[in-house]
Amino acid sequence: MIRLLHIADIHLNTGFASKENVVREQLKEGLVKSFERAIGYVIEEDLDGLILAGDFLDNDKIPFKLEQTILALFEKLFYAEKHLFYATGNHDPMNTTLFLKKFDEEPFFHYFDSDEPKHLQLTMPSGDILEVVGCGHKSKNEKRNLIKQFPRKINDHIWLGIGHSSVPSAFSVGLKEQYMAASLEDIESLKYDYFALGHIHIQQLLSNRIAYSGNLQGLNYKEIGDKGGLLVELMHDDIRVTPKVFNEIQWEAFDFELTEALTTLSELETALLTFVSEQISDIDRSSNRLILRVNLEGRTSLAHGLKETENLDYLSSVIKRKIGLLSVDLKPLSVSTLVDKQFLLNEKTVLSEAISISKHLNENKELLERLLELPIFKATMTYTEKIAEIRRILEVTEEDLIDCFVRGKI
Ligand SMILES: [Mn+2]
């Protein structure tokens, strides 16, 4: 059996420039600690090695201190006779990782930084022969599917593939850059025993032998929850993949609905304290390791108060201190003034007229015909598609109109 830890997308030298000093330093330290934990796990559990599936680093600026830490941690692995398989990703600097040259002669270091797939054969302590195929890149914007050039498994050794690549069918939040895109079928057709992927930060198994490990610690509010890597145990005709948690700091984001009942900032403070405590009751909060965002949404008589950064900062600091968190960011995502809708509709105003017109826009045939003549449609669009597009544009909701008028946007 061969046992490896698969991790990726650590982005170890991320700057967290938008954060205040204290939080920034803790986030940076947290990344290093998470990586130390992963290295420690490989050594303590006596695994055979560590796979870094790209984006280990984030950019060219690697602080000297961090460089030294990386060298020391890599050395620790090699001293313990653990293999390190590192394939570069789109965020790994191309020519600036000169400090890793130190390990050019190191038999346990296997660096896949070329856009030519590299194929190694190693005899592992168990006596199993491991065939490893991986590649890196020459451009941050690799459009070619280099995985297509990987050789297929041709013997009964254990085959491991490593690549930093976007698989279009994988789950990701928002639009992820299509970097070295390869389809799941391309990877499956290689018939490898395991394929370690990097690039998408959400841990997921695309099949029982192909997986993204996700990143070691979240980098922003989109990367919430536990983070870590995958323990991969490879046998000749079997495989076991087990998630392992390594993150030091944990990001979370919640939506808080403002209600009419909250009429003072003090009531809001109490409500937020209860809400946040409930939301995080299942999370281990030892050592203030949570960084939270609370999105505020809804209509409230407190809207004006919540426009003031000073008030938001004050509320954040109270929640942070009373609950014991690393940081809280209260974000008024869509907060608007409380209005009496029925009253507004019944008034003789431009707003009530606008609402009644918007309700009937889609039924106005003369208007639809005029709009169809506008040069705004793609040549390939059918009549039905054009009508659907017009209806989409005309769909000005009551809420949007009220917002525009009441907030004084018009
Ligand atoms: Mn990437």
Do 114 and 41 belong to one domain? yes
55 CA from centroid of ligand 1 (Å): 5
| Helices (runs of H) and strands (runs of E) counted in the chain | 10, 15
- Indicate if 59 and 9 belong to the same structural domain: yes
pLDDT of residue 410: 40
Q: Domain total for the chain? A: 3
pLDDT at 268: 96
CATH number at 179 reads 3.60.21.10
pTM: 0.84
Residue 352 Cα to ligand 1 midpoint, Å, equals 50
The answer on 391 and 319 residing in a single domain is no
Last residue of a domain, one of 307, 337, 367: 337
Are 53 and 202 in a shared domain? Answer: yes
User: What CA–CA distance (Å, rounded) separates 32 from 34?
Assistant: 5
Q: Output the CA 177–ligand 1 centroid distance in Å.
A: 8
Whole-number Å distance, alpha carbon 58 to ligand 1 midpoint, is 9
CA 214 to centroid of ligand 1, rounded, Å: 11
> Ligand 1 mean position to 192 CA, how many Å?
22
* pLDDT score for 275: 97
Q: What is the pLDDT of residue 407?
A: 61
Distance 89 CA to ligand 1 centre (A): 5
Residues 355 and 316 in one domain: no
Q: What is the pLDDT of residue 396?
A: 65
Same domain? 60 vs 170: yes
Pair (230, 256) in one structural domain = no
Q: How far is the CA of 115 from the centre of ligand 1 (A)?
A: 15
Range of the domain at 172: 2-245
Residue 376 and residue 230 in one domain:
no
181 and 272 inside one domain: no
Residue 388's pLDDT is 84
Q: What is the model's pLDDT at position 400?
A: 77
Same domain, 43 and 132: yes
Are 304 and 331 part of one and the same domain?
yes
| pLDDT reported for residue 92 | 87
Contacting residues for 197 by C-beta, under 8 A, at least 6 apart: 8, 53, 163, 164, 165, 167, 206, 210, 211, 212, 213
User: Domain boundary at 290, 311, 337, which?
Assistant: 337
Residue 158 CA to ligand 1 center (angstroms) comes to 26
Q: Are residues 187 and 328 in the same domain?
A: no
| Distance in Å, CA 196 to ligand 1 centroid | 13
Cα 317 → chain centroid: 26
Question: Could you list the mean pLDDT of each consecutive 10-residue stretch along the chain, which spans 410 residues?
Answer: 98 89 92 97 98 92 93 98 96 80 95 94 97 90 90 97 93 75 94 97 96 96 94 95 96 94 94 95 76 93 91 96 93 85 81 80 82 87 86 73 65
Task: Quickly list DSSP for 55-96.
Answer: -SS-SS---HHHHHHHHHHHHHHHHTT-EEEEE--TTS-SS-
Q: Cα–Cα distance between 155 and 136 in angstroms, integer?
A: 25
Q: Supply the pLDDT for residue 409.
A: 45
Domain boundary among 288, 309, 337: 337
CA–centroid distance, 179 to ligand 1, in Å, is 7
| The pLDDT value given to residue 386 | 87
